[in-house]
């Protein structure tokens, strides 16, 4: 891939997508969004990859949408086209068939925070800051902030962040459930890799069914969600990994999952 706004690397079955617009603090423009779509396709097609990490630079994960492009949205039709293109890729990331970890250092604001919300797990470096400042520009988040954030931290805390637009520190983000862990900045990527390696030890199909049940079930009523969970549970009894897991438990050994 010939990418200008991202760096993609794969090592030991873990893919890392690094946002790479440092002169613009990793502001999200449509070029980056389209390249992220390309990168997700490449990672998904690599059958050896078992987990994905998305990260940025030390001082900024991403500061939001590129305001130069936002200023060119002169009418609702143009705004519709813009958010539709962004949301298509963000939705794809949210439902990516492998676990996705956001490793966040520095600023994660606006669309940068929304990008992190699309990931399954979030690890923050000490000193990272999160926020949805769109209200201060006479706008609201357009890439999931008003929907994913309340589902993660509750409506009350989400409304406070959305109404005032003020950022919060990593420790506060951890306290309210916005991030899973806070680690020293110098060990951020190492901790993300460690988490990814632990996920590689889990059965891939069971991980995929877990993610499907949580993501889809959270968007429907309880009885429909329970039915979905049951179907995912039942499906796994057709897999070799399920049989290997029980056999390894009986034999008191580490299971060798193969994703089949």
pLDDT in tens, 117-135: 999 999 999 999 999 999 9
The two structure tokens encoding residue 163:
């109404």
Q: Is the pLDDT of residue 259 over 90?
A: no
Q: Is the pLDDT of residue 109 over 90?
A: yes
Q: Is the pLDDT of residue 256 over 90?
A: no
Is the overall model pTM greater than 0.85, yes or no?
Answer: yes
pLDDT of 40 reads: 97
Question: Which residues form the catalytic set?
Answer: 114, 134
Round the average pLDDT of the chain to a whole number and report it.
95
Residue 6 pLDDT grade (very low, low, confident, very high; cuts 50, 70, 90): very high
Q: Is the pLDDT of residue 260 over 90?
A: no
* Domain locations in the chain as residue ranges: 6-200, 204-251
Is residue 257 within 8 Å of 204, Cβ to Cβ? yes
Mean pLDDT of the region 138-158: 96
Residue 253 pLDDT grade (very low, low, confident, very high; cuts 50, 70, 90): confident
Residue 193 pLDDT grade (very low, low, confident, very high; cuts 50, 70, 90): very high
Maximum distance among all Cα pairs of the chain, rounded to whole angstroms: 66
Is residue 80 within 8 Å of 86, Cβ to Cβ? no
CATH class of 6-200: alpha beta
Per CATH, the homologous superfamily of domain 204-251 is Lyase 2-enoyl-coa Hydratase, Chain  A, domain 2 (1.10.12.10)
pLDDT in tens, 196-207: 999 999 999 999
Read out DSSP for 88-111? HHHHHHHT-SS-EEEEE-SEEETH
């Amino acid at each position: 891939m010939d990418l200008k706004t991202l760096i993609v690397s794969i090592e030991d079955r873990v893919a890392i997508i690094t946002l790479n617009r440092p002169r613009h603090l990793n502001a999200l423009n449509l070029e980056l969004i389209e390249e992220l779509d390309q990168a997700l396709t490449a990672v998904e097609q690599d059958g050896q990859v078992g987990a994905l990490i998305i990260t940025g630079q030390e001082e900024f994960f991403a500061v939001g949408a590129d305001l130069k492009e936002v200023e060119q949205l002169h009418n609702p039709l143009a705004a519709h086209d813009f958010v539709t293109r962004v949301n298509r890729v963000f939705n794809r990331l949210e439902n990516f068939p492998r676990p996705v970890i956001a490793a966040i250092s520095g600023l994660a604001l606006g669309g940068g925070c929304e990008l992190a919300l699309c990931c399954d797990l979030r690890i923050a470096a000490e000193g990272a800051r999160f926020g949805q400042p769109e209200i201060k520009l006479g706008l609201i988040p357009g890439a999931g902030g008003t929907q994913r954030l309340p589902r993660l931290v509750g409506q009350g805390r989400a409304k406070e962040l959305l109404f005032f637009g003020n950022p919060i520190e990593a420790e506060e983000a951890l306290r309210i459930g916005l991030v899973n862990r806070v680690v020293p900045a110098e060990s951020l990527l190492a901790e993300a890799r460690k988490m990814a390696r632990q996920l590689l030890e889990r059965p891939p199909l069971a991980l995929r069914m877990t993610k499907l049940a949580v993501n889809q079930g959270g968007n429907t009523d309880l009885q429909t969600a329970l039915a979905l969970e049951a179907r995912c549970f039942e499906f796994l009894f057709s897999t070799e990994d399920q049989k290997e897991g029980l056999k390894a438990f009986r034999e008191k050994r580490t299971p060798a999952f193969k994703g089949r």
